[in-house]
């Protein structure tokens, strides 16, 4: 199973979800398609187990991180680790926590995040909402950043900054009375750093949690 999952992850890393087929996996392993069915019963299960295989690495990293006296700081460190893993593997966002019956490591990672909230003065509902919000910021932002790259950037006709500046320039020309906000943030959008934007969203979420918990 370990070899099957390692090969599946390699295919996903190389060319995304469309590359992972039973035939391609069998070819990579030098075996027949029928052999794969000894390990997984469907393509959905294969995706879930490949996801859990990668999340196992994330879980190990999270567990190795030194703790602190501040549970919210520890929660932040865990969230950033998960975010970086999904950015490295954009396909991961679509399958994280999709099937916790199969994804035992994903459930354990969710538990690790949740345990930090047990150190705070919160009700069970607020703990649930807090972890859901953090996971939503992490996975949602990473999925958005991992969306299909425009063809003109892939082709090299424009770079990322030129692509963003095209929209920013259009926003600068909008009517000031109708679009005051969009005009004001146009310069910020043009030169923004995706990771900084994620960290700002995460910190806003955690600041709300800190206020709620009185921590």
User: The tokens 């920013």 sit on which residue?
Assistant: 168
Position 165 in a domain: yes
pLDDT tens string, the chain, 215 residues long: the values are 788 888 888 888 887 777 788 888 888 888 777 777 777 878 888 888 888 889 999 999 999 999 899 999 999 999 999 999 998 888 888 888 877 777 889 999 999 999 999 999 999 999 999 999 999 999 999 888 765 555 665 566 666 677 788 889 889 999 999 999 999 999 888 878 888 999 999 999 999 999 999 87
Classify residue 145: in a domain, yes or no: yes
**SS3 sequence of the chain:** CHHHHHHHHHHHHHHCHHHCCHHHHHHHHCCCHHHHCCCCCCHHHHHHHHHHHHHHHHHHHHHHCCCCCCHHHHHHHHHHHHHHHHHHCHHHHHCCCCCCCCCHHHHHHHHHHHHHHCCCCCCHHHHHHHHHHHHHHHHHHHHHHCCCCCHHHHCCCCCHHHHHHHHHHHHHCCCCCCCHHHHHCHHHHHCCCHHHHHHHHHHHHHHHHHHHHCC
Q: Is residue 29 part of a domain?
A: no
C-alpha 157 chain-centroid distance:
28
The CATH number for 116's domain is 1.10.357.10
Which residue range(s) make up the domain with 97?
Answer: 68-213
Position 111 scores a pLDDT of 95
Question: How high is the pLDDT of residue 193?
Answer: 83
Q: Is 186 a domain residue?
A: yes
How far apart are the C-alpha atoms of 81 and 79, rounded to whole Å?
A: 5
Cα(27)–Cα(13) distance, integer angstroms: 16
The CA distance from 205 to 177, in Å, is 31
Comparing CA positions, the residue from 10, 7, 9, 101 lying closest to residue 50 is: 9
Whole-model pTM: value is: 0.82
121 found inside a domain: yes
Q: Does residue 25 form part of some domain?
A: no
Q: How many domains does the chain have?
A: 1
């Amino acid at each position: 199973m370990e070899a099957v999952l390692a090969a599946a992850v390699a295919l996903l890393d190389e060319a995304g979800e469309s590359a992972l087929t039973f035939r391609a996996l069998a070819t990579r392993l030098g075996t027949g398609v029928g052999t794969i069915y000894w390990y997984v019963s469907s393509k959905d299960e294969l995706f879930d187990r490949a996801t859990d295989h990668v999340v196992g690495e994330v879980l190990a990293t999270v567990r190795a991180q030194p703790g602190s006296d501040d549970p919210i700081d520890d929660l932040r460190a865990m969230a950033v680790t998960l975010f970086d893993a999904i950015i490295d593997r954009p396909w991961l966002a679509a399958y994280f926590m999709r099937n916790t019956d199969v994804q035992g490591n994903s459930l354990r990672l969710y538990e690790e995040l949740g345990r930090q909230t047990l150190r705070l003065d919160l009700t069970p509902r607020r703990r649930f909402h807090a972890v859901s919000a953090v996971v939503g910021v992490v996975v949602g932002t990473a999925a958005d950043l991992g969306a299909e790259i425009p063809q003109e950037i892939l082709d090299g006709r424009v770079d990322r900054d030129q692509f963003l500046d095209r929209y920013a320039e259009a926003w600068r020309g909008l009517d000031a009375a109708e679009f005051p906000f969009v005009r004001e943030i146009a310069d910020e959008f043009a030169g923004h750093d995706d990771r900084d934007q994620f960290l700002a969203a995460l910190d806003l979420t955690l600041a709300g949690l800190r206020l709620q918990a009185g921590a």
